[in-house]
Amino acid sequence: MNDAKPTRRSFLNYVLGGGVLATLGSVVYPAFRFIVPPPSGEANVSQLKLPFKRSDIEADPQRARTFKFGRTLGIIVASDAGELKAMAATCTHLDCTVQHRPDLGIIWCACHNGRYDLDGKNISGPPPRPLERYVVNEVGEDIFVSREGA
């Protein structure tokens, strides 16, 4: 059995060690909370009923509307043939929001002049891949958008 009594030096070492740990914790914990994003309250959705109708899209000068699709933005476009086409509204280059350019007949990213056709295929500029396409179903006046394969 060890009968060694705690010395004043060992007590001071414990207090000093605890102080160093508390200081490190007060620096590291806020940095960790800053780096790790908080959990999002929004769920991933696979289908969405849009809050507007075809007539609202066709009356818009851009002939397009953006909508929130879960955690991301989507865009729905009325083509000249009267077809509704929906796709993700974030550029595949640097996640800028894209917009419909009816004068050029394309989807355009203003950040780096990325261009997509109305099917979401990248046709020029730096975007490395096409936009994610959504399936559009119209039931009466209501428009439903869903992910392909969902």
Query: Which pLDDT tens digit goes with each residue over 44-87?
Result: 778 889 999 999 999 989 899 999 988 889 999 998 888 999 99
Q: What is the pTM of this model?
A: 0.70
Interatomic CA distance for residues 65 and 77, integer angstroms: 7
Q: List, for residues 3-44, the tens digit of each pLDDT value.
A: 678 899 999 999 999 999 999 999 999 999 999 888 776 667
Reading the block at residue 2, the tokens are: 């060890």
Q: List, for residues 43-52, the tens digit of each pLDDT value.
A: 677 888 999 9
Interatomic CA distance for residues 62 and 25, integer angstroms: 53
Q: Do residues 76 and 86 touch, judged by C-beta distance below 8 A?
A: yes
Interatomic CA distance for residues 22 and 70, integer angstroms: 40
